[in-house]
Amino acid sequence: MENNHLNFYIDGVWTRPSKIAELKVINPATEEAYTSISVGAAVDVDRAVAAAKRAFTSFSRTTPTERIELLRRILEAYDDRCEDMAQAVSDEMGAPLSFARSAQVASGRAHLISTITALENYHFSEKRESTLVVKEPIGVCALITPWNWPLNQIVCKVAPAIAAGCTMVLKPSEIAPISGIIFSEVMHAAGVPNGVYNMLNGTGSDVGQVMAGHPDVDMVSFTGSTRAGIIVAKAAADSVKRVTQELGGKSANIILSDANLYEAVTKGVAGCFGNSGQSCDAPTRMLVPKNRHDEALRIAKDAADGFKTGHPTAEDTHLGPVVSQLQFDKIQEMIQAGIDEGATLVAGGVGRPDGLDRGYYVRPTVFGHVTPDMTIAREEIFGPVLSIISYDDDADAVRIANDTVYGLAAYVQSEDLEHARAIAAEMRAGMVKINYPAWDTRAAFGGYKQSGNGREYADFGIHDFLEIKSVVGYGG
């Protein structure tokens, strides 16, 4: 069967782009291209937005019950293609195949389920004496998603947009686009009405900025770097459209003095290294009591040394490669900066792991005796690199944790829950996790400060795709 790698999905039809311009998709485990996608242009954006605008007239008037049924059909079609999507994620971003199945693909499925549940209980209107307050779909939405959690971020935008009654144009990351193409095939198989969902590929400058600035787009939902988020927001500003953003992070993990140090450090290393360190909310700054710093380093070294970096298809692989040469080079520069600025290299370091001479593989790295002013303590690295920082007391820990331009997530570890709650209350972050809880798709996800604005997941995600109208005098 012919694949759709060079096609766009517009108005319910797989179609060729307006011009022939292809971009190779690199497998980061081999450094070789394994397929190509088409690069869109402004005329393709115009076609997709026009289709979404036409479809909005009727789709915005569907009932919540009709949209629940549509989301259930999408879930069924998604389940039919789980293995195809897992293989795609493993090929395009180097995720170990087991992780691609159990986390990458599973996360998209979890968001579909939580959105359906939220929509079943969502109220789109309320009476306030003689005033009726209603929530209505905002309109045509531009959805721009990243490469690090491709299906997670696609679904936690597409599902709530549909739940709200919006129509949309999706641009997946051009670095990891194939899972997004398969997801588009899922949407077609589910019978999504023509024009409600459209997808085209391309770069941020060729397609993403054009979508953000398009006069017929009513909202932009963007996930990516803070730098790119600023560009998108500026492109959207002239038309005064809503922009929601989930951007970078440099999350602190405060291990309090009354925590089980071995467990807290071991789990903290795993949290930092998950997805090869390519998660915006990863706990990359570990804060430990000054008098237990060296003990924490010994524990962290043992934990880091237990991670096997290898080919994504190998059964014993914990960490695959990072996604690209660009990311690999940046991470190497950051590791070298840590060494040059005087941090203690506890595990890992520059270069590839032993036995891996090809592929964008990074050595799982831990630095100790990091000071808050060091580059590795301030800049988002987006790789398996952990910085361990000392603090004097609780107030010092809170000060260090909040001393960042980011505010996406924070972590607190303590055997005294009330103590942990008190520290959590002082964190300037959109999500605070106490004692490494299970992932919760019902929690609001988003950040303070330069980590963005707006919230995703469950009913919070639906709310961001709605406008609020007050009908005063409705009661007579």
pLDDT of res. 476: 85
Q: pLDDT per residue over 437-448, tens digit each?
A: 999 999 999 999
Domain ranges of the chain: 8-247+451-471, 252-441
Residue 271, phi then psi, degrees to nearest 5: -65, -35
- Of the candidate CATH numbers 3.40.309.10, 3.40.50.300, 3.40.50.1360, 2.60.120.10, the domain formed by 252-441 belongs to 3.40.309.10
Q: pLDDT per residue over 213-246, tens digit each?
A: 999 999 999 999 999 999 999 999 999 999 999 9
pLDDT of res. 425: 98
Cβ count within 10 A of residue 80? 13
For residue 426, what are the CA distances in angstroms to 62, 76, 412, 422? 43, 42, 11, 7
Q: What is the mean pLDDT of residues 312-317?
A: 95
pLDDT of res. 1: 59
Q: pLDDT per residue over 101-155, tens digit each?
A: 999 999 999 999 999 999 999 999 999 999 999 999 999 999 999 999 999 999 9
Active site (annotated) includes residue 280: yes
Catalytic residue among 141, 166, 272, 280: 280
Q: pLDDT per residue over 286-310, tens digit each?
A: 999 999 999 999 999 999 999 999 9
Burial category of 466 from C-beta neighbours within 10 Å (exposed 0-12, middle 13-18, buried 19 and up): buried
Q: How confident is the model at residue 2 (pLDDT cuts 50, 70, 90)?
A: confident
Would you say residue 38 has pLDDT above 70? yes
Active site (annotated) includes residue 341: no
Residue 272, phi then psi, degrees to nearest 5: -70, -40
pLDDT of res. 402: 98
Catalytic residue among 246, 272, 380, 456: 246
Longest CA pairwise span in the chain (Å): 77
CATH class of 8-247+451-471: alpha beta
